[in-house]
Every structure is written in structure tokens, then in C-alpha cells.
Structure 1
Amino acid sequence: MTTSPAAGDTIGFIGLGAMGQKMAGHLLDHGFNLALSDPNPEALAPLRERGAQVYATPREVADHAAIVLVCVPTPAIVEQVVLGADGVIHGQQVKILVDHSTTGPSLARQLHRELEERGIDALDAPLAGGAAGAQAGTLSVMVGGEKRAFERCLPAFRAFGKTVEHLGSEPGLGQTLKLVNNMIVASTLVASSEAMLFGVKAGLDPRQMIDMLNVSTARSFTSEHILAGTVMRREFDFGFRLDLMRKDVRLFLAEAENSGVPAFTSAVVKQFFDQALSEGDPARDMSHVVQVLEQLAGVNLQG
């Protein structure tokens, strides 16, 4: 029977961005040794100082760790990191590959097929909770893949996750739930903003309105944490990049079309993120989509 990793075991981690660096820090806090790779030396430096080992390529990480976690921005980067010439698939020690990125179920199934041929288990384990959840160690971890591999990785997941759920052995289930989650966030942000801008234009005070909505049936995560917070403060710093949210919306639409599920509302929501992306830095926070609606309405949601 496969044993679970314990404090002192080595975990590979590839991708030390806004989420990954914080997650890797929690793994160190919980006593795991880390083998790291990232193209940004500045991201690696603080973890190297804490004792993590740094390697030039994903393949080298997979030569030194039985479990390798990947957390990178796009499906194309995941493919390169996992299946490329210097990818995890060629490592000598790796037994389990965990993809924490948001890539969609189709790629999750592809990774599962190709890694299985090398005797490597693949888990798709995307995350919810954003940079704030990564910082606090309270992420939600949505996992699809073999139960035995999940159980072996569970202690590592619990180092940075408050809610860790195994959704089933079918590859791609974690990715599917993550796309559902992000599509709902994107849609409720656009719909709630539109409705509130109508209220502002009719004479309602934005702060009073959002406070009432958040104790009423219209409340949602976006109204409580995005509109009432970063948008009202005009800081637009929720912690998730605009281009990444647009990428997730596009992935949702592609997968919905493949499965024959109607996505009329989601297709309209995507257009607002397309417009926001065309108006400035793609690395801006995704809450900047509200400004597209504010410009159209001629008023804003400043509290």
C-alpha cells in the first residue's frame, strides 16, 4: 500500500507565482523538504534561504521528488512543464504529478493518459481562495484522480488547504469544478455590478446599497468580498489577474460546448472580460472588469 508523505519528505514544486510561493512556504512550515524550479530567481530566493533545494528544470525536480506539484498560469505552460523535453514526465523519482493550475478537464485527461504510460499517477487539483487564501493557508483544493494518490498527497494538501475534497477517480473532475466556480464568480461580478450601477444612477448611495444587499437574498461572494471591498475602495486588488480570469472563462465555454451544455449567459460575460483586457495591462486585477460597466453607465460604485 502506498504510504503518505510525512514531515521531512521531499515535495517538488514548480511555479512560484502569487499562489505557488505562498503554498511552498506553508509546506516548509509543515516540515517538508522542497525541490523547486521557477524561471524567476527572485521568487526562489526566500525559499532557498529557508533550506529549499533549487533546480534548473522540472525534470531535475522530478529526479529528486516522488510527488511534484505544479502551479503555473496557463495550459500551454503546464504542457511544457510536464510533457516537454525537460518535463516532469522524464524524471527518475516522480510517482505522482499534481496539477494545481486551472487548465480544464481535457488537458487533465491528456496528462493522465501520458503519465500513466510512464507509471506516474496524475491528480488534477485546482485551487479556490485566491492569493489571500494561499497566504492564510485556507485554500480549497478540488481533486480528481486515483484515491490512493490523493491519500498519499493529502498531508501536503493540508499544509495550505483548509478544505480538501476528493471528487472521484475520473481525471478532470477537479478541473471541471474549478471552471464552474470561476464562471460563477465572473458572472455574478458582472451581473451584480450592472444592477448596482442602475441603483446608483437612480439615486441610491453605493455603500448603503451594498450593505443592504449583503444582508438580503442578493448577497454573494462577489458582493461581500469584491464589490464591498476592493471596488468600493477603488483599489481593484482582489488578487486574481484579469487575463487569468478571462482564460478560465474561455476554458469554461470551450468545455461546455464540447459537452453540449448551453452557456448563453457565460458567452456574454466573456465579452466584458475581453473588453477589460483590451483596455490596459492584462496583469491588472480581474475586478477591473467593473470599470468597463462603470464607463458604460456613466457612474461608479465608489462607496
Structure 2
Amino acid sequence: MTTDMHLGFVGIGRMGAPMVERLLNAGYKVTIHDTQPTALASLAAKGASIAASPKAVADAAATVLVSLPTPDIVLAVALGDEGLALGKAVRTVVDLSTSGSQAARALAEGLARHGIESIDCPVSGGVAGAGKGTLALMVSGPRASFEALQPVLGVLGKSVHVGEKPGMAQTMKVINNLISVTALSVTSELLVMGVKAGLDPDIMLRIINAGSGRSNASEDKIPRFVLTRKFDFGFALGLSAKDVRLCLEESEQLGMKLRVGDAARRLLNDARDKFGNDADMTEIIRYVEEEVGVEVRGKAAGAK
């Protein structure tokens, strides 16, 4: 699988583009496809080959990676007209998307009918991690296939084998994402509360991060993207809402009610509905600010 230095990659978005660039820099030949031609030009200039369809990618490479926004798009790219399943060369499809366990099982079943193996490999670490090669990759599929993929996955970050069954890595990913967005949501709410009470947000974060309330949200997202008022973490509210929905749907299928997760979903959906799907996920705090009439502005943002 990985002795072949020719890879395919479908989905050249904010995450896909830096991953492809890293693969090119590592010496892989990469054939790419995306529905937006402008996304392909810079990578073509760096040596990537452009294919006209997912099938054309799968005609060129035995291992194809996909990084796509929704489960429906993943399944259409893999199993639809001109999809990967119709390719002549492809033997393994690695899904880097957050598509949920149900879609992962459907993907594995559909590809298996064409003699193609599906590997779930959702990633965590954001656009910065994709560029630096520090992503956390959760992988489910046959252990031997996981081991064979290590040269490729090692270019992108650190991988952990979650289990053999399709969908197990997707379950792990949506759990991780709900924990992350819940931490961001509650920290955002309470920072707004503190500012409303007259506290300085920079001092609040210093205390939170020195104590038991610290999280990735308080240590990274809020100081870098909220207190600065940049709101450019690089992950959209609409995609975050999709990830949380997938987790809540899976918990319901398991007969479990996620009370805290459901509260985070409501706040996230409210912010998405107000600011739009493309707004940055760190703008959750703006929804709470506007309700209360204060702004959580740190010294790094300068005077208003």
C-alpha cells in the first residue's frame, strides 16, 4: 500500500491543501481533485497532478485520501457517478473527514462491493496542525492496513489505532469534538459573565489557566482568537454544528442522553443561525456577548 509513492487526494479545502503540500514535500506524487478549480492551482504549481473527477483520481493511485465537509459528500465522492469506487487503480480509501460512524459503515460496505478497503481516519488539530504535521489521527480498520499506512500518516501527524470495525474512529472523533466545543462554549459564557461583573478577561484567563478550569479553549482558542477579536481559528460554525449533531445522533442510537452535550448543541446552533455557517466557531462568544451587552476584549486586541 505505502511502497507506492503515488497517492490520490480528494477535497482541497482548508485542511486538505496543507496536508497535500506536506505529502508533496515528503516526496509523494499526488493526484488531486476538488470541485473548486481555484483550490487546485497552488498545489499544481508545487507538483500535484489535477484530475477531472474522483474516478480519475482513483484511476491513477492505489491509495486515495479524502477530506470532505459532510457525510453525504463523502458517500457521493466515493460511491456516486464518477466516484472513487469506479477507479481502476484504487485499492484503499482513507477517509480523513468527520463523517460519523453510520456513514463510515455505509462507505466501507459500498467500497467492499468493488474490492476496495475503507479506512476511517478522522483528524484533530485544525488548520495549524495540518500545516505543521502535528494532527492527531484516529484510525479504524484492519491492523495490518493501519501499519502499512504509517509512512503516509506519519507525514500528517501522530496516529492511533482505535479498532478494527468501520466507524470506531469516527465515534472517537465526534466524542472528541463535542468535548472540545463544550469547553469552548462554557468558557465563553463564563468569560462574558465575568466581564459583565467587572472582571478583566486577561486576568480571568490567567487564573483559569493556572487552576482546574483550564482547557484547550482557555489555553489556545480564546487567547489567540477571541481576546484578540480576530475570530480566525479556521473551523466554521456550520461544520462544528454538523460534528456535534453527529455525536448527539450516535448517542441517541445507543440509547444515551447527553444532557450537557445537548446544551452545547443549542448554543452552537443559535450562534450558527445568527452569524451563518461560514462564521468561525470561536464566534460562539459573540452570540453570548450580544445577549448580555458586553465584549470580551483583551489587551492584545487594542482599544476599540
State the TM bucket, normalised to the shorter chain. over 0.9
| Partner of residue 167 from structure 1, selected from 134, 149, 162 | 162
Choose the corresponding residue for 1:158, options 148, 151, 154.
Answer: 154
Q: Does the residue aligned with 2:173 lie in a helix, a strand or coil?
A: helix
Give the superposed CA RMSD: 1.2
Which residue of 3, 26, 33 maps to 1:5?
3
**SS of the counterpart of 2:89?**
coil
- Identity in percent: 40
Give the distance between the partners of 2:49 and 2:104, measured in 1 at CA: 28
What's the offset of the Cα at 1:198? 2.0
> In the alignment, is the contact (CA less than 8 A) between 1:123 and 1:171 conserved in 2?
yes
* Residue type at the aligned position of 1:133: G
Answer yes or no: is the 8 Å Cα contact 2:236–2:278 preserved in 1. yes
**1:298 Cα deviation from its structure 2 partner:** 2.1
Q: 1:30, 1:159 within 8 Å by CA — same for their partners in 2?
A: yes
1:36 and 2:29 matched: no
SS of equivalent residue, structure 2 residue 130: helix
Partner of 1:65: 61
Structure 1, 118-127 or 199-208: larger mean CA deviation: 199-208
- CA offset at residue 275 of structure 1? 1.3
Contact 1:5 1:153 in 2 (8 A): no
Shift of 1:281: 3.2
Task: Name the SS for the 1:98 alignment partner.
Answer: strand
CA positional deviation for 1:250? 0.8
Contact 2:208–2:214 (Cα < 8 Å) also in 1: yes
Counterpart of 1:112? Answer: 108
After the TM superposition, list the runs of 4 or more consecutive aligned residues in structure 1 that deviate by more than 4 angstroms.
none
Q: CA offsets, 1:186-235, max 9 Å, x none?
A: 11111112222222222211101101111111000001111122100011
Q: Which amino acid aligns with 1:17?
A: G
Aligned partner of residue 76 in structure 2, secondary structure:
helix
Deviation digits for residues 48-95 of structure 1 (CA, Å, limit 9, x no counterpart): 122221111101100110000000111111011001011101111111
TM superposition score normalised by structure 1: 0.95
Number of the residue aligned with 1:121: 117
Structure 2 Cα separation of the partners of residues 239 and 211 of structure 1: 24
Q: Is the 8 A contact 1:104 1:252 kept in 2?
A: yes
Q: Which runs of 5+ in 1 are unaligned?
A: none
In the alignment, does 2:299 pair up with 1:301?
no
2:110 maps to a residue whose letter is E
Corresponding residue number in structure 2 for 1:272: 267
Partner of 2:253: 258
Q: CA–CA distance in 2 between the matches of 1:86 and 1:39?
A: 13
How far apart, in 1, do the equivalents of 2:34 and 2:2 lie? 26
Equivalent residue in structure 1 for 2:285, among 267, 279, 290: 290
- Secondary structure of the residue aligned to 1:234 is coil
> 1: CA distance between counterparts of 2:69 and 2:104?
15
Q: Is 1:149 the equivalent of 2:145?
A: yes
Cα distance in 2 for partners of 1:238, 1:147 equals 34
Once residues 125 and 49 of structure 2 are traced to their aligned partners in structure 1, the CA distance between those partners, rounded to angstroms, is 27
Q: Kindly tell me the number of residue pairs found equivalent between the two proteins.
A: 298
Task: Tell me which residue corresponds to 1:45.
Answer: 41
Q: TM-score when scaled to structure 2?
A: 0.95
Contact 2:10 2:32 in 1 (8 A): yes
Runs of 5+ unmatched residues, structure 2: 299-304
Verify the 8 A CA contact 1:67 1:153 in the aligned structure 2: no
Deviation at 1:152, TM superposition (A): 2.2
Q: Distance in 1 between matches of 2:144 and 2:39?
A: 32
Query: Do the aligned residues in 2 keep the contact of 1:71 with 1:100 (CA within 8 Å)?
Result: yes
Q: CA deviation at 1:41?
A: 1.6
**Which residue number corresponds to residue 188 of structure 2?**
193
CA contact (8 A) 2:97 2:121 kept: yes
